[in-house]
Amino acid sequence: EDQVTQSPEALRLQEGESSSLNCSYTVSGLRGLFWYRQDPGKGPEFLFTLYSAGEEKEKERLKATLTKKESFLHITAPKPEDSATYLCAVQRETSGSRLTFGEGTQLTVNP
């Protein structure tokens, strides 16, 4: 059974204080690892897909990295508008297009 564990559950940062969110996964045959952002009262919004260990992707202040056991979402010099819940999900090679999600990390960036 695929498992995705995100840590920490919640993270409070001051504006400009860089940090990282962790996503540990157990899956037999990883096809892809996804990061989503979810704002309160809204559906998740796609950020990145990572396919193989060593891969990195960047978008504005966010950078996602992938190893064989975990992924990190690095947030550099965050701003209050980066406050959201960040979700990680994995797709197994044999599961078609289905994703298994972690519980998310709730990020709050204070001005």
User: Which positions lie near another protein, rule CB under 8 A?
Assistant: 4, 31-32, 34, 36, 41-46, 49, 51, 87, 89, 91, 96-104
Q: Is residue 25 within 8 Å of 70, Cβ to Cβ?
A: yes
Taking the least distance from each CB to another protein, the nearer of 42 and 111 is: 42
Tokens of 53: 């260990």
The least distance separating another protein from the CB of residue 43, rounded to whole angstroms, comes to 3
Taking the least distance from each CB to another protein, the nearer of 85 and 109 is: 85
Distance between CA atoms of residues 30 and 26, nearest Å: 9
Taking the least distance from each CB to another protein, the nearer of 79 and 88 is: 88
Cα 85 to its chain centre, rounded Å, is 9
